[in-house]
Structure 1
Amino acid sequence: MSDAAASTVKTVEGGCRCGRVRFRVAGDALVTMACHCTGCQRMTASAYSLSGLYPAERFAVIEGAPVLGGLHGPTRHFHCGHCKSWLFTRPEGLDAFVNIRTTMLDTPMSAAPLFETWTEEALPWAQTGASYSFPKFPPEESFGTLVQAYAESLASG
């Protein structure tokens, strides 16, 4: 990206609870989501996790050094080593993307997530306001439609 183009792209910073790890993303998320799986419930001590999917080249850790926590395999969860905040995930097979916990952004998303996953494990009272729901993870072929729907929601709102 040229310097002129980079200066016109919105950037947002975020970080852990204690402030030792900070990161920056450029532009909007490709899509936002909520995950109801029991793993996310346990990691967040809540009903679901919230995240935004960003191209990896638009993401940078700018302070501190995240450590692995939660999942340590092909899908890797990154946390602050001090306060243990869950910051982002590098999903298995999707090295070109980073899934950021949007509540860790300095300006968290105000709109409902576009879609929710693992609803078959959702707590019966947990509501997200998402436009699309999937009993497990969405099929790969649905992501084009979801990304397009999210871009349209940003343009209209």
Structure 2
Amino acid sequence: MAEPDRTYAITGGCRCGGIRYTVTTAPLFVMACHCTDCQQQTSSAFSLGMPVEKDGFSLTGEPVAHPKTADSGNESRAYRCPTCAVWTHTMTDGSPDLVIVRPSTLDDARWVRPVAQIFVRSALPWATLAVPHSYDEEFDDPSGIVETFRASGIFERVA
């Protein structure tokens, strides 16, 4: 089981190396987001997100923030490299103590596997995932998702 209080050193960054980051706390979970905004930003069926505590996220480089106001009224900011335009992470007003790392930008993402998916209402019909937690929109309480991720053994492959 992933130890939330342990220190980690998970690294990643953009394609050109202009943005680098380190995560030093255990990720809460990995999820897929099927919202139309993520579909547009990735030019794909969904994005992957890995929430981590803001205090456990450090960054080098100067990403550009691309803000958007959600239907909820909360603003989210997608951070991209100004040179290669890779989307490395997101921050939202609704979860100010978290950073949503884009796990496809990890140096080693082989261990990544989502345990949840959100905004399934806008998923492409062929792109829904067989995961333990699935929501038509956003979830209110992530505690079940966090527990599923910790108990799954997924994270031990990197920890």
TM-score range, shorter chain: 0.7 to 0.9
Larger fraction in helix? 1
Is residue 60 from structure 1 mapped to residue 58 from structure 2 by the alignment? yes
Residue 44 of structure 2 aligns with which residue? 46
Counterpart contact for 1:43–1:70, Cα < 8 Å:
no
Shift in CA distance, 12/87, structure 1 to aligned 2, threshold 3 Å: same
Q: How does 1:104-143 map to 2 (within 5 A)?
A: 104-138=105-139, 140=140, 142-143=141-142
Q: Give a deviation string over 1:2-42, Cα, whole Å, max 9, x none.
A: xxxx9x62211100111111011013211110000111000
| Aligned counterpart, 1:148 | 147
Matched residues in 2 for 1:118 and 1:23: separation?
Answer: 27
Aligned equivalents of 2:61, 2:155: Cα separation in 1: 37
Q: For this pair of structures, how many residues does the alignment match? A: 148
CA distance in 2, matches of 1:98, 1:27: 11
> 1:113: Cα distance to partner?
0.3
Deviates more, 1:14-23 or 1:144-153: 144-153
- Tell me the TM-score normalised to structure 1 length: 0.85
Aligned equivalents of 1:126 and 1:40: distance in 2? 13
Please state how far the C-alpha of 1:128 moved relative to its aligned partner.
Answer: 2.9
Determine whether 1:29 maps to 2:30. no
Q: Answer whether contact 1:67 1:79 (CA < 8 A) is retained.
A: yes
- For structure 2, list consecutive stretches of 5 or more residues without a partner in the other structure: none
Percent identity over the alignment is: 30
Q: Does the CA contact (< 8 Å) of 1:34 and 1:51 recur in 2?
A: yes
Alignment RMSD: 2.1
* TM-score, reference length from structure 2: 0.84
Match of 2:78 in 1: 77
The runs of 5 or more residues in structure 1 that have no matched partner are 1-5
